[in-house]
Amino acid sequence: MPITDTLMNDAPLHVTLVVGSNRHGRFGPVVADWLLGRMRDRDDLIPEVVDVADVHLPTSLTPTPEATAALADVTPKLEGAEAFVVLTPEYNHSFPAGLKNLVDWHYAEWRAKPVGLVSYGGMAGGLRAAEHLRQVFAELHAVTVRDTVSFHNAGASFDDTGRLKDPSGPDAAAKTMLDQLVWWGRGLREARARRPYGG
């Protein structure tokens, strides 16, 4: 492999964290802050954030002036990403409508890129929402990594300052998921550079 290819493949991965909840009083930002801390601790990731609560897109998928303005801000963050981490709560056994709407407004931006999944909720820890997202991203030609991070009874896992009461398990799970994301992200980055994805 040429030296330039080796350097490119070892370069940090641009990862967009998608915060998937826009519900009033949401717990997502607490989990997102913890997750960003884990991502920023690594020298192989450059994180950026897209928060569904800040993106105002109509559910009609109609290209109104308001939608065009919202897309002008959010689409470059998705297009420029080499990988994604999607943080989702579980609402009624699935993921939020606002997250699905953001996903549906885009197509090529997800293609041939890896997606890590982090979920939170009650007893199920948001895992049903994460499994539904796997089906959605498969349809969009994205690759979800095998291991996830999930928080069962998430509110009880963090103290009043937003710190995990016992970080050992979540920190280990996050490392495993992010390691897989980097492996897939670098491999797919090299593949896209060598030949356009035509799936």
Could you give the CA distance from residue 130 to residue 1 in angstroms, rounded to a whole number? 37
Six token digits for residue 16: 């967009």
Length of the chain: 199
Residue 8 reports pLDDT greater than 90? no
Could you give the CA distance from residue 56 to residue 147 in angstroms, rounded to a whole number? 31
By the 8 A CB rule, do 15 and 86 touch? no
The two most distant CA atoms of the chain are separated, in Å, by 51
Tell me the pLDDT band of 5, cut-offs 50, 70 and 90: low
In order, the DSSP letters of 114-153 are EEEEEEEESTTTTHHHHHHHHHHHHHTT-EE-S--EEEET
Six token digits for residue 120: 């939170």
Handedness of CA 119, 33, 96, 120 (dihedral sign): positive
What was the pLDDT predicted at 150?
98
- 141: alpha, beta or left, given left = phi > 0 and alpha = psi -120 to 50? left
Q: Which residues contact 65 (CB under 8 A, 6 or more apart)?
A: none
Handedness of CA 46, 86, 137, 144 (dihedral sign): positive
pLDDT, tens digit, for every residue of 133-147?
999 999 999 999 999
pLDDT, tens digit, for every residue of 171-181?
999 999 999 99
What was the pLDDT predicted at 198?
86
Average per-residue pLDDT for the chain: 95
DSSP 47: E
Helix (H) or strand (E) holding 62, with range, is none
Share of the chain above pLDDT 90, in %: 94
pLDDT, tens digit, for every residue of 46-73?
999 999 999 999 999 999 999 999 999 9
Residue 7 reports pLDDT greater than 60? no
